[in-house]
Amino acid sequence: MIKLKRSFLLIFGILFFIFLPKHSYSETQNIYELLELIQKDLRTLEKAVYSDNFSASEQPSVSSSTLDQNSEEVLTRHLLKLSEIEKQFQELTNKFEEINFKLDKLSTRMTKVQADNQVRFQQLENQASTINVNKDQQVSSLPKEDKEEFLPGSSQPQDLGSISYKDTETQLETQQTQSIDTTQTIVTETFQAEEKILPDTTPEKQYEFATSFLKVGDYNTAERAFREFVLSNSEHDLAGNAQYWYAETFRIRQLYTDAASAYLEGYQKYPKSKKAPINLLKLGVSLVQIGEKDQGCLMITGVEKHYPKANQSVLQKAKYEEKKFECKKDNS
């Protein structure tokens, strides 16, 4: 009987300390009540077996066979309760295995996402390298400073004329403008060749329809929708806003060159729209991000100059970016 009681207590203790913390609150309460009943029965059994108070003189009617029968009944109840606990433990084990399976699937998905991000980052680095190479080629193609040249057989220098820095700068700006216009023309022609996605309704509802793609994170479709809106409703009051969000679809995807081109188009075509101040600020930031710090800072510091009545959050953001990129104000 002593060995049986010790074995039962050992099994009970292991089940209690190992499996109780994994139950939910309601299941823990039920098991706790069962354990209290088992403890109560154990105390009763302990009194019946070990207590000196159960002497033959005090309880002459209680025989050893009666005690054995009572002990068997108590043990039977305990075994039934242990069976219930074991069943509940099995259910919790199944739930735990199901959670582990879901965690494994989630870990696999995260691994795939990380691998995909690495590929995209590598593509962005390659694009940045290509941009730097093109920039170096443009710089190398600039005309060098003219030196005095002598006519053959003559010691007198020949006057070949002069090229001022201002003329060179104007020429570069013209080339850049032509490049941007050419890019915009290509984008426009490509877009027109694609299937239209905006519904055949009012411009307001078309704008709302395009905005819905931004809200769900579908930036590729949002890009097409806002571009289609601008081309179809270029004179509408919402055209400036649509142009801004069109540029934002590039910035969010870290396509800063395309973003800068779209912001520049918005600044040139819609300088008085509601989004004009923030559009100019984002243009400056995008230019800095693609390596054109001087031009970018010029745009950033120009926000307060051109839009002094803009929203305070935009003006504060402009000051923050100006300090961040260490821009020098143009006092002219």
Residue 201: which CATH number? 1.25.40.10
Q: Percent of the chain, pLDDT > 90?
A: 39
Out of 53-62, 92-101, 236-245, 265-274, which region has the weakest mean confidence (pLDDT)?
A: 53-62
Residue 45 lies in a domain: no
Is there a domain that residue 106 lies in? no
Task: Look up residue 272 and give its DSSP letter.
Answer: T
The reply to whether 159 falls in a domain is no
- Asked if residue 94 is part of any domain, the answer here is no
Give the pLDDT mean for 71-82.
77
Q: Are residues 195 and 213 in the same domain?
A: yes
Cβ-based neighbours of 295, under 8 Å, separated by 6 or more = 284, 287
> What per-residue confidence (pLDDT) applies to 138?
65
Residue at which a domain ends, from 226, 242, 271: 271
Residue 153 within a domain: no
How many residues can be counted in the chain? 332
For residue 248, the model assigns a pLDDT of 97
Do 285 and 266 fall within a single domain? no
DSSP for 211-255 reads HHHHHTT-HHHHHHHHHHHHHH-TTSTTHHHHHHHHHHHHHHTT-
CB atoms within 10 A of CB 143: 9
What residue numbers bound the domain in which 297 lies? 275-332
d(CA 301, CA 330): 8
pLDDT of residue 190: 47
Number of domains in the chain: 2
Whether residues 198 and 252 fall in one domain: yes
- In whole numbers, what is the pLDDT of the chain averaged over residues? 75
User: What pLDDT score does 147 carry?
Assistant: 42
Q: What is the mean pLDDT of residues 1-12?
A: 55
- Do 291 and 250 have their domain in common? no
251 shares a domain with 215: yes
- Same structural domain, 267 and 192: yes
- Between the alpha carbon of residue 161 and those of residues 145, 148, 149, 180, 287, the distances in Å are 12, 10, 11, 31, 35
Higher per-residue confidence, 160 vs 92 = 92
Measured on CA atoms in the order 285, 286, 291, 297, is the torsion positive or negative?
Answer: negative
Residues 184 and 212 in one domain: yes
Which of residues 231, 253, 271 is at a domain's end?
Answer: 271
Question: Are 227 and 259 in the same domain?
Answer: yes
Q: Read off the pLDDT band of 98 (50, 70, 90).
A: confident
pLDDT digits (tens, 9 = 90+) for 181-240: 444 544 444 444 568 999 999 999 999 999 999 999 999 999 999 999 999 999 999 999
Q: Do residues 184 and 264 both lie within one domain?
A: yes
CB 157 within 8 A of CB 148: yes
The answer to whether position 310 is within a domain reads yes
What is the DSSP annotation of 165-199? HHHHHHHHHHHHHHHHHHHHHHHHHHHHHSPP-S-
**Within a domain: 5:** no
Does pLDDT of 42 surpass 50? yes
- The pLDDT score that the predictor gives to residue 142 is 57
Q: What would the mean pLDDT of 130-134 be, rounded to a whole number?
A: 69
- On whether residue 198 sits in a domain, the answer given is yes
pLDDT confidence tier of residue 301, bands split at 50, 70 and 90: very high
> Would you say residue 74 has pLDDT above 80?
no
Identify the domain boundary among 271, 292, 324: 271
